[in-house]
Amino acid sequence: MKLQGLNSRGSVEQVMKEVKAQAGRNATPGKQSGLTAEIQSRIGHQLRAMYDDVVRQGVPDRFVELIRKLDVPKPDPQLGATGDPEKDGGS
């Protein structure tokens, strides 16, 4: 089996058909079949090819800003504005 043209949708579908056909040929009646190392490798190559562009794009600025906002600790209402119970009139 060749690993050419992995980033096109048509080849992904073709590879999956081949994987299913190979699994069907290798299946033993009454025995649960697993994925061979070759099939796992092909699936890994397919996934990397499909998601490579997404990984290279990075995190959009709006998501970075949301993450920054979530990372800022919110004041605990039980501790008051400073976070120090003695300064905020606590006990």
State CA 20 to chain mean position distance.
23
Rounded to 5 degrees, φ, ψ at 5 are 60, 40
Q: Which amino acid is at 60?
A: P
Q: Indicate the pTM of the whole model.
A: 0.36
If one compares 14 and 82, the residue with the highest pLDDT of the two is: 14
Per-residue pLDDT tens over the stretch 31-83: 556 889 999 999 999 999 889 988 888 889 999 999 999 998 887 777 665 55
CB 39 within 8 Å of CB 23:
yes
Rounded to 5 degrees, φ, ψ at 36 are -75, 165
- Split at pLDDT 50, 70, 90, the class of 10 is low
What pLDDT does 4 receive? 46
